[in-house]
Structure 1
Amino acid sequence: MNERTISLTAQTTRRDGLLAGGAALAAMAPANSSLTAAKAAPSTKEIQIMSFIRTEDGTEIFYKDWGPREAQSIVFHHGWPLSADDWDAQMMFFLDKGYRVIAHDRRGHGRSTQTWSGNEMDTYAADVAALTDALELRDAVHVGHSTGGGEVAHYVARAKSGRVAKAVLIGAVPPVMVKSDKNPGGLPIEVFDGFRAALVANRAQFFLDVPTGPFYGFNRPGAKVTQGVIDNWWRQGMMGGAKAHYDCIKAFSETDFTEDLERITVPTLVMHGDDDQIVPYADSAPLAVKLLKNGTLKTYEGLPHGMCTTHPEIINADLLDFIRD
């Protein structure tokens, strides 16, 4: 494991500023707030700035690992073309509930190496296996959104015994997105060719158009548009590598997860908004749950693809119920 740390003994001025700032924030917090001086100030001689694992091909995978090591672990898998930061609302919620929460940046995304190869589901799942091995996770709950849902299915179907307790697929791409003779209800390949063309032509603009429009349902009449959410989507997307993002379009659209779903035996919750404009509901969640041996479908009327961000109070509560059950 390769952890990048900075010693506070060499950064005395910075340390004092951090401690003073933390104390000031704690003083301003309401009496019932979870933000306290004890939590705001570091208690060790070092602050961990970034954590990485290095895979067999030399790729560095960035991850966050918060909470008590002995607590139930929840591992979050993000969608395309985002990063672990897309799970902020869930990680803070479950951290406050006493869970250990972990999220990584998929290779080519976020702070991980901007890979030009290995940007497909077999390698994504192998990277997850390397991370869970490095962290020695047992009986973890794996939660995946969109492309991350495909990654969860591909990993859980291959995971070592005892690694996984439960799985959750949210607005997820399985069983398969692209239209074919076997999947007549899928999206035509021309849709994904359009994604690739837009990414190559002007990735920065494309990464504004997606969150401004269909991803969060901000193109729907009466939608409450949040500029910060759009900007944060763009920020995360632009952190990653164009080549990896380009390749990942094929990975999330053309990978057939049918056999993965059939192999999964752990309890699996499938959550999907019926107004999902990115991964259409009818050709995803209902089909996926039929393939699972121990699957449960929960449908959200009128909610968009990015419902973890637009409606965290609903999604977090249902996740908590499933994990505790």
Structure 2
Amino acid sequence: MATFETRDGTTLFYKDWGPRDAQALVFHHGWPLSADDWDAQMLYFLDRGYRVIAHDRRGHGRSDQTDTGNDMDTYAQDVIDLARALDLRDAIHIGHSTGGGEVARYAARAEPGRIAKAVLIGAVPPVMARTDSNPDGIPLEVFDGFRAALAANRAQFFLDIPSGPFYGFNREGATVHQGLIQNWWRQGLAGGAKAHYDCIKAFSETDFTEDLKALTIPVLVIHGEDDQIVPIANSAHKAITLLRNGTLKVYPGLSHGLFATHPEVINPDLLAFVQA
């Protein structure tokens, strides 16, 4: 397995496919998944001559099951270390959900010349949780419920999420893909319970407002209109107003996991942005 060591000694797993001198696309997965969630995108872009990279966030997948450092600042620092280890130049970073927050924070702190563009898919920025400055956010009690469910029966919780709201399989008339549900469950249980527990706070309470404001690179914001996990009104519709060079693309009727359920729709749009 390909791994690298972050500056605090944590070992992270990553995939790195394709020509080393080709344009690099770096994929950032959501909670509580792994780099495997991007298989359809990585194979698509690899087939078109790109270098494709994806890492398992600390505490997730095949990376060290850390009990500390499970916060957005450390996640972004880990990406800085990854970019330095692979000497990435003018890379395009694509993040989903929690991974979208990771991309936003990393992009705001990246070393000069490391990042050229970013894509936020169903991403958590600016901030998910309800606060004084975000009064229409999701109540903290919802995320307390996530933590309680994870602590009580992580295996069942990680089956319920993809079976229902994550992919929109709870909607009337939805075509349910059992393989996606089982793959979500498989990825989730490969990671560490402590890191997954801590990450709920990281993805729900981190405020990315200043990160988004700081970005000057082109940013594509992709969101499903029927996203039940990260509601579009509290995320993409707000994020796009904070970006200096942002483009918003909304997909009517699609869910939080839209790139997995509809790769034939999302991948060509990603390609168009990458090539622009």
Question: Which TM-score band (shorter chain)?
Answer: over 0.9
- 1:272 is paired with a residue whose SS is strand
In structure 2, what is the equivalent of residue 184 of structure 1?
Answer: 135
* 1:50-81 deviations in Å (ceiling 9; x for gaps): 10001122110100000001110000000000
Aligned with residue 97 of structure 1, among 31, 35, 48: 48
Mapped partners of 2:21, 2:52: distance in 1 = 11
Match of 1:233 among 159, 175, 184: 184
Paired position in structure 2 for 1:317: 268
In the aligned structure 1, how far is the partner of 2:159 from the partner of 2:5? 32
For residues 74-122 of structure 1, the C-alpha deviation after alignment (integer angstroms, 9 at most, x for no partner) is 0000000000000000000000010000000000000000000000001
Name the counterpart of 1:195. Answer: 146
Deviation at 1:185, TM superposition (A): 1.5
**Secondary structure at the residue paired with 2:2?**
strand
CA distance in 2 between counterparts of 1:55 and 1:161 reads 19
Q: Which amino acid aligns with 2:166?
A: F
Corresponding residue of 2:255: 304
Give the alignment partner of residue 108 of structure 2, picking from 157, 168, 179.
Answer: 157
Distance 1:254 1:181 in 2: 12
TM-score under structure 1 length normalisation: 0.85
> 1:148-191, CA deviations, whole angstroms, 9 ceiling, x for partnerless residues?
00000000000011000100000000000001121111100000
Distance across 2 between alignment mates of 1:164 and 1:303: 29
Structure 1 runs (4+) greater than 3 angstroms displaced: none
How far apart, CA to CA, are the structure 2 residues paired with 1:311 and 1:247? 30
What residue number does 1:20 align with? Answer: none
Q: Which amino acid aligns with 2:106?
A: Y
Partner of 1:79: 30
Aligned length: 276
Q: Pick from 220, 244, 252 the counterpart of residue 293 of structure 1.
A: 244
CA distance in 2, matches of 1:288, 1:61: 29
1:244 aligns with one of 179, 184, 195? 195
SS in 2 for 1:75: strand
Between structure 1 and structure 2, the one with the greater Rg is: 1
Amino acid in structure 2 at the alignment position of 1:223? A
Separation (CA, whole Å) in 1 of partners of 2:253 and 2:213: 29
Q: Which residue of 2 aligns with 1:66?
A: 17
Q: Alpha-carbon deviation of 1:262?
A: 0.4
Q: Which runs of 5+ in 2 are unaligned?
A: none
Residue 265 of structure 1 aligns to a residue in which SS?
Answer: coil
Q: Aligned partner of 2:69: which letter?
A: G
Amino acid at match of 2:112: S
| Residue in 2 that maps onto 1:19 | none
Residue 309 of structure 1 and its aligned partner are, at CA, apart by 0.4
Q: Could you tell me how far apart the structure 2 residues matched to 1:93 and 1:184 are?
A: 40
Secondary structure of 2:109's counterpart equals coil
Task: Determine the structure 1 residue equivalent to 2:61.
Answer: 110
Distance 1:205 1:254 in 2: 24
Match of 1:173 among 113, 118, 124: 124
- Is 1:129 aligned to 2:85, yes or no? no
| TM-score for both structures, normalised by structure 2 | 1.00
Deviations 1:26-57 (A, max 9, x none): xxxxxxxxxxxxxxxxxxxxxxxx10001122
Separation in structure 1 between the aligned mates of residue 195 and residue 216 of structure 2, nearest angstrom? 31
State the Cα distance separating 1:244 from its structure 2 match.
0.1
Paired with 2:204 and 2:46, the residues of 1 have a C-alpha distance of: 32
Q: CA–CA distance in 1 between the matches of 2:228 and 2:138?
A: 11
Q: Partners of 2:128 and 2:162 in 1: how far apart?
A: 20
2:93 match: 142
